[in-house]
Structure 1
């Protein structure tokens, strides 16, 4: 009789243990799935999956312009005419390998810059054009703060040595210094830089 009673008591215990294992397996599966979804959302919002700041919307609402939307010269419009992508008369180039991911939005500063070189009897005169991968908001910021930007450029030029203006390597270093000084000025004034590169449209040392 006692053996039969023990068997009856063991049966519910086994059922209860099996249920606990099943619950643990289900909960564990939900945790794994939830963690995977959370990781995917984090990766997308942080830019790891092509979203975040490197997607259509960039930092502080400044928009990166896709290469397909780059402004292009229209042959039909003649000099000064602009087309946008394949519309507006300008034809988009055939797809190829490499190249920049985003368009280059250019702005040429009206007046040239003239400055003495550091510890030198020579002076430098340069024309400057600026490019940004962002939309026209950055160019608007540049125009709005052009006086402050011109001052920053002149100070950078006056802090340049002869060694940096007589070699291509030195000129490339000067380009990077100018990019930094312009971006620093725009960050101070507008909270965002956005300048990608500086180009010399004229470069004279006398």
Structure 2
């Protein structure tokens, strides 16, 4: 075989080897780029990207009510950043304050001649600001409670589930009034101290 024939026979193998090396290099570079992007994405998702541990805490409105820890308990700092009403404070950590409405409520019930009479109190895990707002806005709160009561079914109210649903509706109605009047809610629950359907 002539020298030219040997060179031609060897040329395709050399080209194949160069092409194989390029593919190998591109594959390695691509894998490194993907791995780096995945690591960066993971760090960002874990809060390490963009400042991570040095990231600024969310701002808390200094005028907003603060949770009140029980004696001997330490409030969780992150709880103060949570929007009021967006979570249920831990009753083992936070102290409830009970808010009483002195006058009882009497209301007709929906689609019946029945009447409900009840007395109720509310609770909050927040500081005196909620108690003051509750007292200052008692008249619109009473009106909202009477509106909710007038929309209730007498038969449903005779069951424990009906009473629980009414408590949830009353809590929502009270918080809606407080948010409209003050910008924050803070009532966690309502309690019946008397409950009569006639």
TM range (shorter): 0.5 to 0.7
Q: Tell me, in whole angstroms, the C-alpha distance in 2 between the residues paired with 1:125 and 1:175.
A: 14
Q: Secondary structure of the equivalent of 2:187?
A: coil
Where relative contact order (Cα < 8 A, 6+ residues apart) is larger, the structure is 2
- Compared with structure 1, are the counterparts of its residues 190 and 175 closer, same or farther at alpha carbon in structure 2 (3 Å cutoff)? same
Shift of 1:40: 2.1
- Compared with structure 1, are the counterparts of its residues 132 and 69 closer, same or farther at alpha carbon in structure 2 (3 Å cutoff)? farther
In the other structure, the counterpart of 1:201 is 193
In the other structure, the counterpart of 1:108 is 100
Q: Tell me, in whole angstroms, the C-alpha distance in 1 between the residues paired with 2:142 and 2:63.
A: 24
- Unpaired segments of 5 or more residues in structure 2? 1-39, 74-89
Q: Tell me, in whole angstroms, the C-alpha distance in 1 between the residues paired with 2:116 and 2:62.
A: 35
| Contact 1:112 1:126 survives alignment (8 Å) | yes
Q: Tell me, in whole angstroms, the C-alpha distance in 1 between the residues paired with 2:135 and 2:155.
A: 31
The answer on 1:161 being equivalent to 2:166 is: no
Larger Rg: 2
The answer on 1:134 being equivalent to 2:126 is: yes
In the other structure, the counterpart of 1:39 is 52
Q: Deviations over 1:139-159 (max 9, x none)?
A: 100111110000000000001
Q: Tell me, in whole angstroms, the C-alpha distance in 2 between the residues paired with 1:202 and 1:59.
A: 38
TM-score, scaled relative to structure 2: 0.62
In the other structure, the counterpart of 2:70 is 67
| Contact 2:65 2:128 survives alignment (8 Å) | no
Q: Secondary structure of the equivalent of 1:179?
A: helix
Shift of 1:39: 1.8
Shift of 1:58: 7.3
Q: Deviations over 1:98-150 (max 9, x none)?
A: 85331101111100000001111110001010100101110100111110000
| Contact 1:58 1:64 survives alignment (8 Å) | no
| Contact 2:101 2:119 survives alignment (8 Å) | yes
Query: Please, what is the CA RMSD of the aligned residues?
Result: 2.8
- Compared with structure 1, are the counterparts of its residues 167 and 190 closer, same or farther at alpha carbon in structure 2 (3 Å cutoff)? same
Q: Post-superposition, which runs of at least 4 consecutive aligned residues in structure 1 deviate over 3 A? A: 57-60
In the other structure, the counterpart of 1:144 is 136
- Compared with structure 1, are the counterparts of its residues 106 and 59 closer, same or farther at alpha carbon in structure 2 (3 Å cutoff)? farther
Q: Secondary structure of the equivalent of 2:111?
A: coil
Q: Secondary structure of the equivalent of 2:196?
A: strand
TM-score, scaled relative to structure 1: 0.60
